Amino acid sequence: MGTPVNNRLLLVNGPNLNLLGTREPAVYGHETLEDVFAIARATAEDVGFDLRAFQSNHEGALIDVIHEAKADCDGIVINPGGLTHTSVALRDALAGVELPFVEVHISNVHAREEFRHHSYLSGIASAVIVGAGVQGYEFAVRRLATILG
Q: How far apart are CA 12 and CA 79, in angstroms?
A: 6
16 in contact with ligand CA2 (CB under 6 A): yes
Catalytic residue among 30, 58, 85, 105: 105
Whether 117 and 51 have beta carbons less than 8 Å apart is answered as: no
7 in contact with ligand CA2 (CB under 6 A): no
End-to-end CA distance of the chain: give it in Å, rounded.
8
Instruction: Give me the phi and psi of 141, to 5 degrees please.
Output: -65, -45
Q: How many CB atoms neighbour CB 97 within 10 A? A: 17
Instruction: Give me the phi and psi of 54, to 5 degrees please.
Output: -145, 140
Smaller CB distance to ligand CA2: residue 100 or 133? 133
| 28 flagged as catalytic | yes
107 in contact with ligand CA2 (CB under 6 A): yes
User: Among residues 79, 126, 137, 148, which is the contact residue for ligand CA2, using CB under 6 A?
Assistant: 79
24 in contact with ligand CA2 (CB under 6 A): yes
Stretch that binds ligand CA2, among 3-11, 53-61, 66-74, 103-111 (CB under 6 A): 103-111
87 in contact with ligand CA2 (CB under 6 A): no
- Secondary structure letter of residue 24 according to DSSP: -
119 in contact with ligand CA2 (CB under 6 A): no
The 3-state DSSP class for residue 120 equals coil
34 in contact with ligand CA2 (CB under 6 A): no
Pairing of strands 75-79, 101-105: parallel
Binding positions for ligand CA2, rule: CB under 6 A: 16-17, 19-20, 23-24, 28, 79, 81-82, 84, 105-107, 109, 116
Which residues have a catalytic role annotated? 28, 105
